[in-house]
A and B are shown apart, each in its own frame.
Chain A
Amino acid sequence: MNVIEINQLTKYYGKHRGIENVSFSVEEGEIFGFIGPNGSGKSTTIRALLSLIHPTSGSATIWGRDCIKYGSELRRDIGYLPSEVFYYEHMKVIEVLNYSASFYDNVDYTRIQTLADVMDLDLNKRIDDLSYGNKKKVGIVQGLLHEPKLIILDEPTGGLDPLMQQKFFDLIRTENKKGATVLFSSHILSEVQKLCGRVAIIKDGTIVKIENIRDMQKHNYKKFTLEYKGLIDVHHFNLEGITNLTLNENTLHFLFKGDINRIVARLQDQALLNLLVEEPSLEEIFMHYYQKED
Chain B
Amino acid sequence: MNVFKKEMKANVTSLIIWCCAQVFIIYAGMMKYQGFADSNVDMSKLMAGFPKEIMLIFGVGSVDLTKVAGFYSVFFLYFMLLAAIHAVMFGAVAVSREERDHCADFLYTKPIRRFQIIMPKLIAGVINILIFNMVTFGASVFFISLHNNGDGLFSQVSVTMLALFILQLFFLALGAMFGAVLKNTKLATSVSGACILGFFLVSVAVDLYDKLAFLEIITPFKYFEGSTLMIDEQLSFPSAVILLIVSLILFTLTFFAFNKRDLKT
Contact = CB atoms under 8 A, between A and B. Distances in A.
Given A54-B262, A88-B101, 16 more contacts: A43-B265, A47-B265, A50-B105, A52-B105, A52-B262, A54-B260, A71-B113, A76-B111, A82-B105, A84-B105, A89-B101, A99-B2, A100-B110, A102-B2, A103-B111, A104-B110
Interface string B110-127: 111100100000000000
Contact of B106 (A71, A89, A102, A142): A142
Contact of A50 (B109, B112, B116): B109
A52 B109 contact: yes
A86 interface: yes
Interface string A72-104: 111110101011101111000000000110111
Contacts of B104: 52
A180 to B, nearest CB: 16
B28 interface: no
B109 A80 contact: yes
Contacts of A43: 265
Closest 8 A/B residue pairs (Cβ): A86-B102, A103-B110, A82-B105, A76-B111, A53-B262, A75-B111, A102-B2, A72-B113
B201 interface: no
B106 A86 contact: yes
A52 B102 contact: no
A113 B102 CA distance: 26
A202 B108 CA distance: 25
Nearest to B10: A88
21 contacts: A13-B262, A47-B105, A47-B263, A50-B105, A50-B109, A52-B104, A52-B109, A52-B263, A53-B262, A72-B111, A75-B111, A82-B105, A82-B106, A82-B109, A84-B102, A84-B105, A87-B103, A87-B106, A102-B2, A104-B110, A142-B106
B263 A53 contact: yes
B6 interface: yes
B265 A72 contact: no
B101 A86 contact: yes
Interface of A: 13, 43, 47, 50, 52-54, 71-76, 78, 80, 82-84, 86-89, 99-100, 102-104, 142
Contacts of B263: 47, 52-53
Sort chain B's interface into a size bin.
Answer: 20 to 34
Contacts, number: 64
A56 B221 CA distance: 42
Interface in B80-119: 101-106, 108-113, 116
A88 B116 CA distance: 19
Nearest to B260: A54
Contacts of B113: 71-72
B172 to A, nearest CB: 22
A84 B264 CA distance: 11
A103 B112 contact: yes
A65 to B, nearest CB: 13
Find the residue from B2, B108, B109, B265 having the highest chain A CB count within 10 A: B109
A43 to B, nearest CB: 7
A73 B106 contact: no
Interface in B111-166: 111-113, 116
Nearest to B112: A72
A52 B110 CA distance: 11
Interface string B231-263: 000000000000000000000000000001011
Contacts of A104: 110-111
B253 to A, nearest CB: 18
Nearest to A18: B262
Nearest to A87: B103
Contacts of A52: 104-105, 108-109, 262-263
B265 A100 contact: no
A71 to B, nearest CB: 8
A74 B109 CA distance: 10
B40 to A, nearest CB: 54
B9 to A, nearest CB: 9
A142 B108 CA distance: 14
Contact of A75 (B2, B109, B260): B109
A75 B110 contact: yes
Contacts of B106: 82, 86-87, 100, 142
B74 to A, nearest CB: 40
Contacts of A53: 262-263
Contacts of B262: 13, 52-54
Nearest to A90: B10
